[in-house]
Amino acid sequence: MKDKVVLITGGTSGIGKACALAFGEAGAKVVISGRDSAKLQTTAHELVQKKITCRAVQSDVSNEADAQKLVYETVQEFGRLDILINNAGISMRALFQDLDLGVIKQVMDINFYGTVYITKYALPYVLTSKGSIIGISSIAGYRGLPGRTGYSASKFAMQGFLEALRTEVMHRGVHVMVACPGFTASNIRNTALNAQGNVQGESPRAEEKMMTAEEVAIRILKATQKRQREIIMTTQGKLTVFLNKWLPGLTDKLVYNVMAKEKDSPFK
């Protein structure tokens, strides 16, 4: 990773921030983006304190012009781009029948189109460096989760996009990877949108029992170095993907029961 340039969207908290620290401590130069200027500066200060060369760029990945500007500023600052980590994301939690359709659009704009926009403008530079494009997805990208229709749709779309792109560039030296952490302790459930598009505000799951963002980042770093095509983390995640392929009817029941046990579950 020494002197590699890594661009991380949604780099101010959770998995994005942990990746900035992990890749930076491995020797990379790091560019982080986010919508909140104050959080950006706080995270950038933490990186500098650890002697990581970094640049913070305020950006909304769901805006194509912002995405183009983010890539441009990265290359202007460091002269190259080796690794793109599409991490920016948002979740939602509500039954589809109750859901304002604007919520699905907002989730798709950030999770899917944000990945498409950034990747579009980053690809020429990653082709030159024969680097990596990484999508931080979810088990929801392999198995639709009830109560999270918009989130699942966005992750399925991201994975289909990256799989197609991987095949397009397979003879051009570019590494494309999908990383699926499973349930990870982060703020994504706290900031998830409810049926009306308002922030949920409180996680419905026991965050303290989940894999930490730091653990996830280390696994992503190692998988990037090995140029793996995908990484599915947690035993629960691997089992869900396996069962959904071979016993989909049983998986419907198991997934429903797990999600119905969440605090304030919409199924009750």
Burial class, 197, CB count within 10 angstroms (exposed 0-12 / middle 13-18 / buried 19+): middle
β-strand partners of 230: 178
pLDDT in tens, 148-183: 999 999 999 999 999 999 999 999 999 999 999 977
The single-letter DSSP state of residue 36 is -
The residues, ordered by sequence, that sit 6+ positions from 125 with a Cβ below 8 Å of its Cβ are 71, 75, 80, 81, 131
121 is catalytic: no
Q: How far apart are CA 21 and CA 30, in angstroms?
A: 9
CB burial readout 34-62, b (16+ within 10 A) else e: bbeeebbeebbeebeeeebbbbbbebbbb
- Domains annotated on the chain, with CATH: 5-234 (3.40.50.720)
Kindly report the pTM of this predicted structure.
0.93
Q: Look up tokens 């599915």; give the residue.
A: 232
Judged by DSSP in three states, 55 sits in strand
Is residue 174 within 8 A of residue 1, CB to CB? The reply is no
The type of residue at 10 is G
**Long-range contacts (CB closer than 8 Å, 24 or more residues apart) made by 153-160:** 153/104, 153/107, 153/108, 154/89, 154/107, 154/108, 154/110, 154/111, 154/112, 155/111, 157/108, 157/111, 157/112, 158/86, 158/111, 158/112, 158/115, 159/135
CB burial readout 137-158, b (16+ within 10 A) else e: bbbbbbbbbbbbbbbbbbbbbb
Residue 135: which pLDDT band, with cuts at 50, 70 and 90?
Answer: very high
Residue 65: which pLDDT band, with cuts at 50, 70 and 90?
Answer: very high
pLDDT in tens, 204-243: 655 566 788 999 999 999 999 999 999 999 888 999 999 9
Structure tokens at 95: 């039954």
**Per-residue model confidence (pLDDT) at position 207:** 56
What is 85-101 written as a DSSP string?
EE-----B-S-GGG--H
**Per-residue model confidence (pLDDT) at position 190:** 65
Q: How many CB atoms lie within 10 A of CB 66?
A: 18
Q: How far apart are CA 61 and CA 115, in angstroms?
A: 8
pLDDT in tens, 87-132: 999 999 999 999 999 999 999 999 999 999 999 999 999 999 999 9
Give the C-alpha distances (Å, rounded to integers) separating 89 from 115, 128, 194, 200: 9, 27, 15, 15
Residue 195: which pLDDT band, with cuts at 50, 70 and 90?
Answer: confident
**Per-residue model confidence (pLDDT) at position 260:** 87
Q: How far apart are CA 236 and CA 209, in angstroms?
A: 13
β-strand partners of 86: 135
Is residue 207 within 8 A of residue 164, CB to CB? The reply is no
Of the listed 121, 125, 142, 151, which one is catalytic? 151
The single-letter DSSP state of residue 189 is T
